[in-house]
Structure 1
Amino acid sequence: MYSLTGFLYQNSTLLSQYKSKAILGLSFAKSPNKPSLSFSFSHKSTNLLISQNQIMIRPSPINPADFQVSTKNGFLPEELPLEILSNPYYEPWEAVIKDLSTLLSTSSLRETVDTLPILTTTHLISEPEWQRAYLILAFLTHGYIWENGGPSERLPACLSIPLLRISTHLSLPPTATYAAFNLWNYAPLSPNLPLNQPENLRCIHTFTGTESESWFLLISVAIESHGAPLIPLMTSALSAMATNNSHVVLSALLRLGYIVREMGILLHRMNERCDPMVFYTEIRPFLAGSKNMGHAGLPQGVFYEEGLDEEGNEKGKYRQYSGGSNAQSSLIEFLDIILGVTHTPSPPSNPTKTTFLSEMRSYMPGPHRAFLSHLEASPSIREYAQDSAIPEVGEAYNFAVKELERFRDIHIQIVTRYIIRPSRAVQPPAVHGGINIAVASSRSAGEG
């Protein structure tokens, strides 16, 4: 277990104090599946009235667009992800990824991939094309490694060579990550409906073709979309701190808390269409990485073939990478940084959790990592709230941190339902070549 460190004063309870000091209202739509939010705050000493739709976004010295972060979609791309590489040169890749779930269900993916030519990245022009190519090869890589019959210790050059080149361009590890599974792997069913409604989304690709897998991935996409307004909101709050505009900071912290609460509501919806045993036995094995997977048949990781040298000797090396994880979400890391939240291992002498979360940042797209690093060098909202002459700013900060803590509590509940409980149950046949990959990936996982 670990704890969040961020509260200014633990004995201050925002909502109870506001009973006498202020008016704080929260309303949701009748359907919990489509929450809407409004709130107001007033205090006799500030004479301030704030509504969600009236908060003015102030110019910020941090321009998210410089880091491929959208003020509209957050860490999701500004434009919808590509669903196909239009250049016919990449048709061999597209043909295989189109039939991925069928090839895996018939244990014929490796046989098919082994016939692929080694394609270059010369014809990838736009950034969405590079992202699409990465998604394709990341899915094919994990499918190839974890196809039924036992894990493959080797990744053929037709996958590894272009994947290494593309990963270098995107500043991502050459393995499947949250970016491939979630950020660049969705499309709306209706362009007129928002992306924060998971029932309005579909996955471009999945391993299993099951509704459970699609829903599992799309809940995260909806959460990313719902949290997107927090980026301009909180970068604006950083600008307001420079002019000591406490009212803007206060309103931003309150809105942050309520948006994070709604993100928790979306996360709870995982239970609607994702079956725990289907996830654990059929889906999760394909999300597994190659790091610390000796018990699963990969003692050295996976050998990435890189062709032959001038003397005809094989080039390449063994590589180990973690699997895809929601801990690779830049949005959640963004919230931690903005609020100055640190993760304290329990016991403190065991830094495994902290180390894991730090490692996961290297699995985020390079520009997003740079954005987070830039924010880390910005003034501290926590210190500003602590020093503010308006006590409600500190209370609003505590409220925001508490909502983030509740969001993580919901995540722990999801991990318990979808990983811990199934791992303790009598194992159904999720066995690859005599190895239960579901159990093996549970042993190596740091966080879901």
Structure 2
Amino acid sequence: MIPPIPHLADYGISPTRGFLPDQLPLTRLPDPYYNKWEAIVANLQGLILSKRLRAVIDRLPVLSTVGLYHESEWRRAYMLLCFMAHAYIWGGDSPSDRLPPPITVPLLEISEHLELPPVATYAAVCLWNFKPLFMDEDIDNLENLATLCTFTGSLDESWFYLVSVAMEARGAPIIPLMLHAIAAARENDVHTVTQCLTSFAERLDDLTTLLHRMHENCDPHIFYHRIRPFLAGSKNMAEAGLPNGVLYDDGSDSPTWRQYAGGSNAQSSLIQFFDIVLGIEHRPTGEKGPKPDTDGPGPAAQHNFIQEMRRYMPGPHARFLADVQAVANIREFVARHAARHRPLAIAYDACLAMLRALRDKHLAIVTRYIVMPSREAARARSRSPEATRGAVKKVNLATAVKNVRHQPQGIAFDAKSAAAEMEKNGNNASALKGTGGTALMAFLKQARDETGEPAVQEWSRRFMRRVVRTEGQGDFFAGKEDDRLGVPRNRRPDGVVIEEETGVRGLAGTWTIEEEWVTGGICNY
């Protein structure tokens, strides 16, 4: 029996807002009983700067969850406690390896109710952390969004979260659209599937445009050194000061040590939904895929990291992805009809190309926001190691010196160890690692390349295998032949044209991507 196509309402998913809540997130818990939580988060930046946060939280009473009724209240409470927890852990000169009962007890109960881990997930910092400035305007408009909570109070941090919120809102209509396409494929309706895929490709192009706006109001230096450390998890954080993770002190005689990954865009259900409906398979990092001349990918092992990230999604969202995976049929449908219905094949391949372009933009952003700052940190340390050591007082994800083979889990990877390893390996970005202990650059580059593998037309696969390079890099004359390869510098040995990448202007000035750094992705996906 063919499984039924999932109904969005069964998973609390909105047909217009997608994985964002159908009702806007609460700006305050209505029960005055929780005013102490609200007061701490409202003054979070001041308490962190004055180094009084931990003492204030230690004196809090352990509040019950009995006053939480509607789902919006549970979500608001989860967000408040996650911000308090990460500020408590990372808000001092050295990290705290213990969360006190005023945070631990209610956070564990709320996390169990929402089917989420007790850590600052993508849901806490993005999905449930926004409000519109004007109620009669759309929430996929960045100019109409504001955050409810931040660690730093900076525009940069708000913008970093809100770009993801706007992308979730802009991409929301794709969810019912592609469920409709799955139903149409069951009815052998080529015309409807083609229309749905065409609309999908157009929406993906809009999402890439939104992601490109990250540079407008989020400075890489501020992100790397001030924002990112607060989003770090507790897994593989020995050198950052958490060798055992974090002790979740629930007041019992046997509290438990726990280790969790930090916040990551890999926890976005929307991106994984795109891969599922298009039939894109992601293999374990380093595992080779099909040759370019094959008819799409063969059976592939499930990528453990991607599956692991579903544990960091709200439970209903993760179940929705699993149920969609059971009914996804678009790739097979297109493969059967591509020979006789060229518009269908073109529309499908256009979706792959647009999704690959989105990941290309992701690669560019991680280069600027993570790789380049880490290299700058390494250069500063190499110029004056004594001065650098003397200047560093705080211990966190951005300052820890560690063995690159045991990178922390968090929003990305540590600066000094990674940068030192890069210099040791000739500035090879492949040495860097990301959330979940994955090889950050190798993982993201492979995920980007795998996006084009299901293409049904050879010209599409060839187009998506092109290599982006920096304009004029190492090129004295246009079209100059490479002495080692005997081919024009704007072509690869297999004849694929190498396109040029121009500079991008942003808050921190004009920048370009250096060829060897074009791997990776912000927030590890």
The TM-score range, normalised by the shorter chain, is 0.7 to 0.9
Contact 2:185–2:329 (Cα < 8 Å) also in 1: no
Counterpart position of 2:116 = 172
Alignment of 1:378 onto 2:327: yes
Give 5+ residue unaligned stretches, structure 2. 290-299, 381-387, 401-407, 415-432, 436-523
Query: What SS does the aligned partner of 2:182 have?
Result: helix
Query: What SS does the aligned partner of 1:343 have?
Result: coil
Counterpart position of 2:182 = 238
- Structure 2 CA distance for partners of 1:377 and 1:424, relative to 1, 3 Å: same
One-letter code aligned to 1:74: G
Contact 1:339–1:382 (Cα < 8 Å) also in 2: yes
Q: How does 1:73-112 map to 2 (within 5 A)?
A: 73-112=17-56
CA distance in 2, matches of 1:422, 1:352: 34
Which 4+ stretches in 1 moved above 6 angstroms?
349-353, 427-432
Counterpart position of 2:308 = 359
CA distance in 2, matches of 1:107, 1:445: 29
Counterpart position of 1:390 = 341
Counterpart position of 1:200 = 144
Contact 1:196–1:226 (Cα < 8 Å) also in 2: yes
Counterpart position of 2:162 = 218
Contact 1:147–1:432 (Cα < 8 Å) also in 2: no
Q: How does 1:157-306 map to 2 (within 5 A)?
A: 157-306=101-250
Counterpart position of 2:282 = 343
Alignment of 1:423 onto 2:374: yes
Cα deviation for residue 346 of structure 1 reads: 5.1
- Structure 2 CA distance for partners of 1:344 and 1:352, relative to 1, 3 Å: closer
CA distance in 2, matches of 1:341, 1:433: 45
- State the TM-score, normalized to the length of structure 1: 0.82
CA distance in 2, matches of 1:158, 1:87: 18
Contact 1:75–1:228 (Cα < 8 Å) also in 2: yes
CA distance in 2, matches of 1:412, 1:335: 18
One-letter code aligned to 1:366: G
- Structure 2 CA distance for partners of 1:192 and 1:344, relative to 1, 3 Å: same
Counterpart position of 2:434 = 445
CA distance in 1, matches of 2:198, 2:301: 32
Query: What SS does the aligned partner of 2:377 have?
Result: coil
Cα deviation for residue 218 of structure 1 reads: 0.3
Counterpart position of 2:297 = none
- Structure 2 CA distance for partners of 1:211 and 1:352, relative to 1, 3 Å: farther
For residue 399 of structure 1, the aligned residue among 350, 357, 361 is 350
Cα deviation for residue 353 of structure 1 reads: 11
Contact 2:121–2:267 (Cα < 8 Å) also in 1: yes
CA distance in 1, matches of 2:392, 2:116: 28
Cα deviation for residue 62 of structure 1 reads: 2.3
CA distance in 2, matches of 1:383, 1:420: 38
Counterpart position of 1:408 = 359
Q: Which moved more, 1:350-359 or 1:91-100?
A: 350-359
Cα deviation for residue 394 of structure 1 reads: 2.1
Query: What SS does the aligned partner of 1:303 have?
Result: strand
- How many residues matched? 384
Counterpart position of 2:272 = 333
Counterpart position of 1:17 = none
Cα deviation for residue 445 of structure 1 reads: 2.5
Counterpart position of 1:143 = 87
Let me know the Cα RMSD of the aligned residues: 2.1
Cα deviations across residues 72-104 of structure 1 (Å, max 9, x unaligned)?
101000010001111011111111111111111
Counterpart position of 1:62 = 6
Give 5+ residue unaligned stretches, structure 1. 1-59, 309-313
Query: What SS does the aligned partner of 2:398 have?
Result: helix
* Identical positions, percent: 46
- Structure 2 CA distance for partners of 1:138 and 1:414, relative to 1, 3 Å: same
Query: What SS does the aligned partner of 2:282 have?
Result: strand
Cα deviations across residues 273-329 of structure 1 (Å, max 9, x unaligned)?
000000000000001000010110101100001113xxxxx2311000000011100
Counterpart position of 1:132 = 76
One-letter code aligned to 2:149: H
CA distance in 2, matches of 1:426, 1:370: 42
CA distance in 2, matches of 1:354, 1:211: 35
Query: What SS does the aligned partner of 1:143 have?
Result: helix
One-letter code aligned to 1:437: L
